[in-house]
Chain A
């Protein structure tokens, strides 16, 4: 059977599975649609959260980023996992105890204000929509690369699948599909990693393989990598860049706070039965995420080493272009890798010097996508990688779309405009806004705005600077009032947007950037991507100052806070409410 047929069969089988789950998990009430009846087992929710969280970027791009950034790539590894510690200890159990359906709903109730709720909805929609564009383009790219259909066709198929299970099943359908998607994507990620680690070091566990010796040379993998990089004139892999330390600190912190504040992740913890389950479920989520995240550094380092040894590390071993391996030929066709024989020598010189370098295009996504071929793995592994990439993009897209549609139907429609809407109409409204969100996301996928690449950073910035501090104050500071919270959210949002826009251009149109995206103009050397943490600090300060100058929140609000702080019942036996 040829490879293409195999890919069709594997991807087709996974899609059939998702559709089967959709039919089995139809949602019959708003409780099922928004929070899967709060009946999901903590381990199952952990798995669903892992799929919800790990996007096309985690699956396809992260190992490549690490491969080319080396130690610098650690910001993503620590940032995107460390946030779960914050989520588990500072937000998830308390918001679960609060027991409602959405994140803006907590803000509205806790700050006794529809304004706070609407600002919450705006931040949520901005963050989730920018995030979903990446998933949509990821779906289209994965389809077109593996299934040999056009980008538009691929995107349409992806949208149709999501439409089917998200509109019918809501959170219930999404949860069980995400569990299946997690299994597909983790298999797709670890199988090639285990093989490549075995081939190079003899160790099956990639996490150990990276720290051990190469069977061929007897030298440590990382030492060999540094040696080769040195020969070619690149920066060392494990070396710490001292000048970048402050930026790295803030970048990691921003990603952590942003991770904890992203609504599509938070709402996953509304689906478990108890507060206790919410706590352990966060741990399980991180276990499932860590399996991929601790494997990624191995994939990155080993694939980079493999790549460089294919191209040749010295003049004598340079790759003869006519004798290039089959996988290089395959990926040349996609344009992800390109050679220009500048000196007409017939050999390819890979060098850090741009004038001499003859590897003129080397897309970092190739590290994961071509990994099975570089390691010469059987065709079925390549088919699973295709299914895995699609699972990663679709699972995250569905989670984001649910966050958006529940904010529209539950917070805006029922919460603000039409409080007397019946349960049945709200469910219908939920389905309609889900369908509309898919349409909007699809439109953005077909016409990706020019600024799409920069926007994931913006999503984290928004979550970190506006949502996270307001949620934390709501739980940990009883005296925080609506004036403080609203002022804080707006201040965090504004500072973050201004900083990002002045360096990246207004709405990411580069020509409108009046400071330029150059290091000397960065505030204390903090890059725009890393500014979310600063926005969060501004939010905290503004909220505290405004809170001190305005009246305390009413008594009954302080009772709400008391209640969310304990797992059971009202906090006081004689509380009287």
Chain B
């Protein structure tokens, strides 16, 4: 199985890059944004005993990273199927 033509191949790659781009934007936002650059401002807000900026730096960013990878895996799985380039069970 492979792409029918050059255009589809290019489209698949462009969609892939778009997915990566959005997810890495979130990645940078929670870690470098909320965890470092805006941390001081966010510390004015508290959830329970956690100042928010501190929470992002030591808990929130890590949890977000985990979610991001699974979202990526899911979206790519869907993209592979859409373009008919998913692996079959015996493709090892």
Residue in B2, B43, B63 with the greatest tally of chain A CB atoms within 10 Å: B2
Q: Is the CB of B2 within 8 A of A242?
A: no
Q: Smallest CB-CB separation from B32: which chain A residue?
A: A249
- Complex Cα gap A297–B56 (Å): 12
What string of 1s and 0s marks CB contacts (under 8 Å) between A543-577 and chain B? 00000000000000000001001111111110100
* A155 in the interface (beta carbon within 8 A): no
**CB-contact partner of B69 in A71, A276, A283, under 8 A:** A283
Question: Does any Cβ of B come within 8 Å of A220's Cβ?
Answer: yes
8 A Cβ contacts from A300-359 to B: none
Bound CA span A348–B9, Å:
71
Do residues A89 and B20 form an inter-chain contact, with CB atoms below 8 A?
Answer: yes
Cβ B69 vs Cβ A78 within 8 A = no
Instruction: Determine if A74 is an interface residue (Cβ-Cβ < 8 Å).
Output: yes
Q: Is the CB–CB distance between B86 and A252 below 8 Å?
A: no
B28 to chain A, nearest CB (A): 9
Given A248-B36, A567-B80, A573-B2, the answer on whether A78 and B50 have CB atoms closer than 8 Å is no
Complex alpha-carbon distance, A401 and B48, angstroms: 45
Known: A77-B62, A222-B54. A249 touches B37 (CB 8 A): yes
Instruction: Pick from A213, A223, A253, A273: contact of B92, CB below 8 A.
Output: A273
CA distance A84 to B69 in the complex (A): 8
Interface string of B55-90 (1 = CB under 8 A from A): 101110111011011101100110010000111100
Q: Residues of A contacting B13 with CB < 8 Å?
A: 565
B6 contacts A78, C-beta separation under 8 Å: no
How far, in whole Å, are A252 and B12 apart by their CA atoms in the complex?
Answer: 32
Distance from B89 Cβ to chain A, minimum over Cβ atoms (Å):
9
Contact, CB under 8 Å: A77 / B85: no
Closest Cβ of chain A: how far from B63's Cβ, in Å? 7
Q: Which residues of A contact B58 (CB under 8 A)?
A: 66, 71, 73-74, 77, 294, 297
Q: How large is the interface on B (under 10, 10 to 19, 20 to 34, 35 or more residues)?
A: 35 or more
- State which of A210, A222, A279 has its C-beta within 8 Å of the C-beta of B72: A279
Residues of B within 8 A of A290 (CB): 62-63, 65-66
Q: Which of A230-255 contact B (CB under 8 A)?
A: 238, 240, 242, 245, 248-249, 252-253
Given the complex, which residues of B lie within 8 Å of A81, measured CB to CB? Answer: 61-62, 65
Contact of B87 among A82, A297, A562, A568 (CB under 8 A): A568
B2 and A71 contact, CB distance less than 8 A: no
With A78-B31, A276-B80, A276-B87 known as contacts, the answer to whether A294 contacts B51 (CB < 8 A) is no
A114 CB to nearest chain B CB (Å): 29
> Does B27 lie within 8 Å of A245, measured CB to CB?
no
Cα of A66 to Cα of B85 in the assembled complex, Å? 45
A12 at the interface (CB under 8 A from B): no
What residues on A are CB-neighbors of B6 within 8 Å? 572
- Complex Cα spacing A211 to B68, Å: 24
Task: Decide if A212 is an interface residue (CB 8 Å cutoff).
Answer: yes
CB-CB < 8 A to A390: which residues of B?
none
> With a CB–CB cut-off of 8 A, which chain A residues contact B49?
210-213, 220-223
- The distance from the CB of B70 to the nearest CB of chain A, in whole angstroms, is 5
The distance in angstroms between the C-alpha atoms of A249 and B31, with both chains bound, is: 9
B36-55: which residues lie under 8 A (CB-CB) from chain A?
36-37, 39-40, 43, 47-51, 53-55
Residue A507 CB within 8 A of the other chain: no
- Chain B residue at minimal CB-CB distance from A287: B66
Let me know if B39 and A279 touch, CB within 8 A: no
- Given contacts A287-B66, A571-B3, is CB(A71)–CB(B87) below 8 Å? no
* Chain B 7-20 interface 0/1 with A at a Cβ cutoff of 8 Å (1 = within): 00100110010001
**Which residue of the partner chain, among B3, B39, B51, B61, contacts A222 with CB atoms under 8 Å?**
B51
> What are the residues of chain A within 8 A of B91 when measuring CB–CB?
274, 568
Question: A residues near B, CB below 8 A?
Answer: 38-39, 66, 71, 73-74, 77-78, 81-82, 84-86, 88-90, 93, 207-208, 210-213, 220-223, 238, 240, 242, 245, 248-249, 252-253, 273-276, 279-280, 282-283, 286-287, 290, 293-294, 297, 562, 565-573, 575
The 5 A-B residue pairs whose C-beta atoms are closest, nearest first, are A220-B49, A74-B57, A283-B69, A211-B48, A279-B73
What are 11 A-B contacts defined by CB distance under 8 Å? A71-B54, A74-B58, A86-B24, A223-B49, A238-B51, A238-B54, A276-B80, A279-B72, A283-B70, A297-B59, A566-B85
